[in-house]
Amino acid sequence: MPGVIAAPSVMRISEFLSPEAVIAELASSSKQGALAELCTPLAKVQPGLNTERLVDVLVQREKLGSTGIGDGVAIPHGKMSELSRLIASFGVSHAGIDFDAIDGKPTHLFFALLAPENSAGIHLKALARISRLFKNPQFRQSILAAAGPAEIYELITTEDSRI
């Protein structure tokens, strides 16, 4: 189909998450604040985007239903016509944030994903990969115990190469 971006056979998280987009400790204690913090590095890694527009896309998606998938994990996501590729950020809240997760528990690990408007296959493949990665309880614990953003990024990319 013309204009549709095809999904690669094996997608790696390192293709859309950069080390600069990892936040070792989110300062916010609210859902809206966490989304804004997650969007700040995205606006830096993708020139031409502004944080407010990114936040708006994620907030609009959250209105359809929480992206808090349980077990302390949320994957806020959305699509934007301004994007030509997937971009992502990752943040940790040790205190936990009420993200209206399906299990009703606080959320500690946040993986924000934004995709081009015409990228259903890539978008869904990325969401599935992130979800599969964070199903492992030991992996989630290792992220929470990590010393900083560089170690978190290394843990994510190493674990991603195993699945």
Q: Which of 159, 121, 118, 109 is nearest to 139 (CA)?
A: 159
* Residue 50 tokens, joined: 């502004």
For residue 95, the tally of other CB atoms under 10 A from its CB is 11
The alpha helices in the chain, defined as continuous H runs, are 31-45, 51-64, 120-133, 137-145, 149-162
Catalytic hit among 77, 94, 108, 123: 77
Clarify whether 123 is annotated catalytic. no
Pairing, β 107-116 against β 73-74: parallel
Which residue has tokens 């929470």? 144
* Residue 156 tokens, joined: 């994510």
Render 19-54 in DSSP notation, one character per residue. EEEEESS----SHHHHHHHHHHHHHHHSTT--HHHH
DSSP three-state, residue 9: coil
Residues designated as active site? 77
